[in-house]
Amino acid sequence: MPVTDPIPAASETPAHFSPDKSLISLLGLEKADLQAALAELGLPKFRAGQIWRWVFRHGLSDFNEMTDLAKPLRPLLASHFHADRPLVSRRQQSVDGTIKWLVRLADGQEAETVYIPDRDRGTLCISSQVGCTLNCSFCHTGTQRLVRNLAAEEIVGQIMLAMDELGDWPAGKENRRLTNIVLMGMGEPLYNYEQVAKAMKIIMSGEGVACREGVSPCPPPALFRKWSAAGRSLGSIWRSACMLFATGCGMSWCRLTGNIISPSC
């Protein structure tokens, strides 16, 4: 049986980090956060909308390519922000098109991201922690110790990395290869609730990646309150699947279709 109590504490990741510690990751900022950060530079709110669309709708990371930003503004932004993806320390691809990335984070820790194609969909399995507190018998990560939680930008960064390689920009285009996102990689997402919820809100933005649906199978008993809070926080896009096989390991997923569904449990 999975261990749910006591819960070992994960070491927290700084809210924003990059190889240059002075730069803030745009991938971990909600739109209001970005507006506030730009206001500190004396920039108007509408600039946040421009930057947000370039980063999360078009997948750009170079401010010089953001053509509706004034040229003198671009180096100012580059001196304060970045939209870098995690590095890839190993990439494997199967004959069926499945791709697995071992991503290296800024502090040298590593996590796995897997793209699984099917006839009518493409699913991305992302991680929410380095290691895990649970010891689910069906999961190899359960044999590893918990190292730390992933920050929101590290969770979002896995999605951006996959969309880069899959050629899925702009995010709203038809016949996108990535249609589903599942938090079934390394870690228990609800043990990292704040950062996972923040990452989900970022990718669910209608002006960005536009994930519009979420589901969380029944979590471990210790997480029922957080699971309920996720429903209140993320609204009708977060529903319960009540999968019996998953009662020992909470998970969540998003479908990138633009459809909002009602609870099915």
> What's residue 141's pLDDT?
56
Model pTM above 0.95: no
Closest CA to 110 of 84, 83, 91, 134: 91
Strands 122-125 and 110-117: antiparallel
pLDDT above 70 for 231:
no
CA 70 – CA 28 distance, rounded (Å): 24
Strands 122-125 and 87-93: unpaired
Helix (H, G, I), strand (E, B) or coil at 255: strand
Label residue 80 exposed, middle or buried (CB < 10 Å: 0-12, 13-18, 19+). middle
Q: What is the mean pLDDT of the chain?
A: 78
List the domains of the chain with CATH numbers.
24-82 (1.10.150.530), 87-255 (3.20.20.70)
For residue 88, give both structure tokens.
């890839």
pLDDT above 70 for 250:
no
> What's residue 211's pLDDT?
64
Average pLDDT value for residue range 204-231: 61
> Lowest-confidence range among 82-86, 216-220, 254-258?
254-258
CA 74 – CA 222 distance, rounded (Å): 47
More confident residue, 248 or 215: 215
More confident residue, 114 or 243: 114
Average pLDDT value for residue range 216-236: 57
